[in-house]
Amino acid sequence: MSETADRAPQGTPVHVLIVDDHRTFAEALALAMESRGDMRCSGIAASVDEALRLLAEEPCDVVLMDVALHGPDGIEGTRRIRRAYPETRVLVMTGHLDASVLARAVEAGAAGFLPKDGPFADLVDAVVDPPISGLAIGTGTPMAVVAEAMRLREQAPAAPHTGADSLTRREVEVLGLLAEGLPPTAVARRLGITLHTCRGHIKSVLAKLEVHSQLEAVVVGWHRGLIRRPGEP
């Protein structure tokens, strides 16, 4: 699935793995997905370990990850999946919107937050039409909670980094365009490079900044002054 970092090719269903130990909820969500023509539920897992086994058998485009799981929680699950399958987007579902949980989810590489008590339509819409390089935020998520989560993420103590100093000029350009909310395909077009080359730059940026997602790279880039924040001259 060569387009998992961007948007699935037109006509190709988005394959989604649901990770939730509430079987009734998971099966209802799977039915909502299957009722559409642009997505397929590739499986339901009740734990992080089961999710990793299913992904090893059949990689997917998106994982919908509940936070509250038996064994490793959804935050740790997000971290493990992003480490093993960096092109797979993980959207965290939670019934309790808490800024500290959201901050941990961002740090683990989550691409968005979706309230479980919201309409199923909002959940599936976030899967098929996300802000690829930004943060997918489900309807009903208080922006104050999101803002506090990002503040906590930025203020979290970090180990000394040296990778930021070695970003090339092109990598900084790529990071800046990701911060504008452009998907990799649009970044490649803007810079006149191939999508393969663009993905290579993104992979290098993530490695040098020691982060797990484009969103986290943007936040780190803002925090270290590598790129301008929105509204800055």
Distance CA 97, CA 93 (A): 9
Give the bridge partners for 137, in sequence order. Answer: 113
Q: Cα–chain-centroid distance for residue 67?
A: 14
Instruction: For residues 55-78, give the mean pLDDT.
Output: 92
Confidence grade of residue 150 (pLDDT, cut at 50, 70, 90): low
Pairing of strands 112-115, 136-137: parallel
Superfamily of domain 14-154: Response regulator (3.40.50.2300)
Q: Give residue-wise pLDDT tens across range 182-221.
A: 778 888 999 999 988 998 999 899 889 887 777 778 778 8
Contact 120, 114 (CB under 8 A): no
Q: List all residues 6 or more positions away from 17 whose beta carbon is below 8 Å from its beta carbon.
A: 41, 42, 43, 44, 45, 51, 54, 55, 60, 62, 63, 64
Residues in the chain: 233
Mean pLDDT of the region 120-147: 57
Sheet architecture: strand order including 14-19: 39-45, 14-19, 62-66, 89-94, 112-115, 136-137
Rounded distance, CA 116 to CA 101, Å?
Answer: 14
What is the average pLDDT across 49-74?
93
Question: How many Cα atoms sit within 13 Å of 132 on the Cβ side?
Answer: 17
The domains of the chain are located at 14-154, 163-223
State whether CATH 1.10.10.10 applies to domain 163-223.
yes
Residue 198 has what pLDDT?
Answer: 92
Asked if the model's pLDDT at residue 137 lies above 80, the reply is no
